[in-house]
């Protein structure tokens, strides 16, 4: 959705309802309203013209103001979907939002998404917001091992004029999903980024000249190792086959270790990792996984992630309909 057409009067009412100071409310009531600007190039000066851009995506206030502005919108949307008994859930990250619908039949899921999207578009117009229909995507998860044809979702009656074809890969907030949740594409993407970084680092030195081994070790730990396991919590859990992931992740660390020590390519991986002071990649993932699990118990009871955690692990709230252990086959 676009926040360039934000209603400043409504924003002022929301800030007043939340309880902000009068001076802050007065400031944002005139924020970017009737704004004028001109451009200078050497001695040339353009004429003054109006720039009513609302809140652009480059503004540092965008995340804060959008969260406050969309707070009442999300509250109304969720209550209306609940009253209309439409089994869809709404999640928004600033202006990047999505609908989640679960059903054993794709046609039923498409119908729920169609109704939700229709209601969303009409409600956003009342909030002076616009949906970018050209950036709208649809994605289905399916456990079927056979090849099946996914029906498109026609949104043309809603004013978008577009027909959504289901994607085979879905990218959202840096994570790459496939229909069967194998996350092979996700791992391959970040492995390629890491390999490119390791190859570029080789220009900084070798066994004869350039930076020493300690500097190489520090460079790898600070620049490459944080990239490789990005989003590993999606696929690194019990009873999951790890052969594919460990094979390609191990190649990255092996190349980096050989470069750090200047060792032969036929050297044993465990030996050179021990000499270079690097733990095996699987043990490194286990360490990161243990640390990430501890963060769950530090979340506030009102945190969004608490509603997605399985009830037996959630210490703060009772069973939720959107919890992971409520998913059906």
Q: Running along the chain, 329 residues long, what does each successive block of 10 average in pLDDT?
A: 65 83 81 74 82 63 78 85 86 80 85 86 81 82 72 69 81 88 91 90 84 90 90 86 89 90 87 90 89 78 69 48 46
Say what the pLDDT of residue 114 is: 86
CA quadruple 193, 196, 201, 206: dihedral sign: positive
Say what the pLDDT of residue 320 is: 46
Q: Structural domain boundaries of the chain? A: 8-167, 182-293
The alpha carbon of 186 is separated from its chain's Cα centroid by a whole number of angstroms, namely 13
Say what the pLDDT of residue 137 is: 85
The answer for residues whose C-beta is within 8 angstroms of residue 314's C-beta and 6 or more apart is 306, 320, 323
**Residues 50, 27 contacting (CB under 8 angstroms):** no
Closest CA to 273 of 289, 298, 256, 293: 256
Say what the pLDDT of residue 4 is: 54
Say what the pLDDT of residue 327 is: 47
Say what the pLDDT of residue 135 is: 81
Q: How many helices (H) and strands (E) does the chain have?
A: 9, 10
Say what the pLDDT of residue 325 is: 47
The alpha carbon of 321 is separated from its chain's Cα centroid by a whole number of angstroms, namely 22
Q: How far apart are CA 250 and CA 247, in angstroms?
A: 5
* pTM for this entry: 0.71
Say what the pLDDT of residue 322 is: 44
**Residues 134, 11 contacting (CB under 8 angstroms):** no
**Cα separation values, 225 from 101, 218, 250, 252, Å:** 36, 10, 12, 9
Give 96's strand partners. 93
| Residue reference for tokens 């692990």 | 313
**Residues 152, 165 contacting (CB under 8 angstroms):** yes
């Amino acid at each position: 959705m676009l926040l360039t057409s934000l209603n400043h009067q409504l924003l002022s009412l929301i800030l007043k309802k939340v309880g902000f100071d009068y001076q802050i409310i007065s400031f944002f009531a005139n924020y970017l309203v009737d704004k004028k600007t001109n451009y200078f190039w050497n001695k040339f000066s353009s004429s003054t013209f109006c720039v009513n851009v609302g809140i652009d995506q480059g503004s540092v206030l965008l995340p804060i103001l959008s969260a406050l502005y969309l707070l009442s919108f999300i509250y109304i949307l969720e209550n209306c979907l609940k009253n209309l008994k439409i089994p869809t859930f709404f999640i928004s990250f600033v202006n990047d939002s999505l609908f989640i619908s679960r059903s054993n039949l794709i046609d039923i899921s498409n119908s729920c998404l169609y109704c939700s999207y229709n209601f969303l578009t009409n409600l956003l117009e009342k909030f002076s917001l616009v949906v970018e229909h050209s950036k709208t995507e649809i994605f289905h998860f399916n456990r079927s091992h056979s090849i099946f044809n996914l029906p498109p979702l026609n949104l043309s009656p809603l004013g978008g004029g577009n027909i959504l074809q289901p994607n085979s890969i879905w990218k959202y907030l840096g994570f790459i999903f496939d229909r069967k949740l194998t996350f092979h594409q996700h791992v391959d993407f970040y492995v390629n980024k890491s390999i490119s970084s390791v190859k570029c680092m080789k220009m900084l030195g070798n066994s004869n000249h350039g930076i020493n081994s300690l500097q190489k070790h520090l460079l790898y730990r600070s620049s490459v190792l944080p990239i490789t396991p990005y989003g590993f919590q999606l696929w690194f859990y019990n009873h999951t086959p790890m052969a594919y992931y460990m094979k390609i992740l191990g190649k990255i660390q092996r190349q980096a270790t050989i470069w750090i020590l200047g060792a032969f390519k036929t050297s044993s991986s465990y030996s050179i990792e021990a000499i270079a002071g690097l733990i095996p990649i699987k043990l490194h993932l286990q360490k990161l996984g243990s640390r990430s699990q501890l963060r769950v118990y530090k979340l506030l009871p009102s945190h969004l992630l608490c509603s997605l955690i399985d009830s037996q692990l959630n210490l703060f709230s009772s069973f939720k309909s959107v919890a992971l252990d409520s998913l059906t086959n």
